Amino acid sequence: MENLLNKFEQELRLRNYSRKTILAYTGALRQYFQYKKTGLEQPDVENIKAYLLHVLDSGKSSRTANIALHSIQYFYRHIMSTSCAVNLRLAKTHQRLPVVLSRSDIARIIDSVENTKHRTMIALAYGAGLRISEVVSLRVADIDCEQLTIYLKHAKGDKDRVSIIPASLCDKLRAFSHGKTAQEFFFPSQFGGKMTERSLQAVFKRSLLRADIIKPATFHSLRHSFATHLLENGTDIRYVQALLGHSNIRTTQRYTQVTNLALKNIKSPL
């Protein structure tokens, strides 16, 4: 089993999948192997169906089941080169609306953070629509306050993109970059080097408590809020798509479900 898993992981690495994707796919395949136990080299469609039902019946989400199916299909197609196709349909996933924070929520969150570096990181994530991985990976050379632009390199899907910087943050950003070389991390950890995503998530979680916000928000809600507020301001959805780095406009269109200004202006008869 370990030999097959190693081959699988190496193939994903050669195809330049992200570390998170490799961990997710390899972990999912390992769990299937532990369920099947024997005859791992050959696909067994009925056994795979039973396993996917087992995943769903154990309370796991349809997304988890779909990751399992993707990993199994990839293994038999690209590692074992089997002629027996695993033609199974993905489980239907529940389309949840993004958790969006109001402008006043954002202001309260930022004001609740005492540490200047952490406060700036949260403000920049909202003001530029960044993922948490992008914030901790920023280098000094990536931020251009003169042009009010930020360059995101090797972002999700190994894509580069450009986003905007709020002018109100430039003085703080210049202060953070002072004395650093171009390739140093913009927001290093207290021990030097790259700050972990877990640490920044913990900072954000504490800020929610201090700001007395009960919405089920995560750090990614800052990015959701950036997109939603731009659309509410009348920004063309194509520009929002480019700033977020979405390949498909349909991914960006989900924000229109929480930005229908005409709907918000309707008053309840009660």
Catalytic residues: 131, 156, 220, 223, 246, 255
Kind and range of the H or E run holding 55: helix 45-57
For 36, residues 6+ apart whose C-beta sits below 8 A from its C-beta are 44, 47, 51
Under 8 Å between Cβ of 150 and 142: yes
Q: Identity (one letter) of the amino acid at 165?
A: I
Q: Burial-class residue 96 by CB neighbours within 10 Å (0-12, 13-18, 19+).
A: exposed
How far is 242 from 252, CA to CA, in rounded Å? 9
How far is 229 from 28, CA to CA, in rounded Å? 37
Kind and range of the H or E run holding 143: strand 143-144
Q: Identity (one letter) of the amino acid at 130?
A: L
Under 8 Å between Cβ of 76 and 84: yes
Residue found by looking up tokens 């950890």 in the block? 189
Residue found by looking up tokens 């920004």 in the block? 235
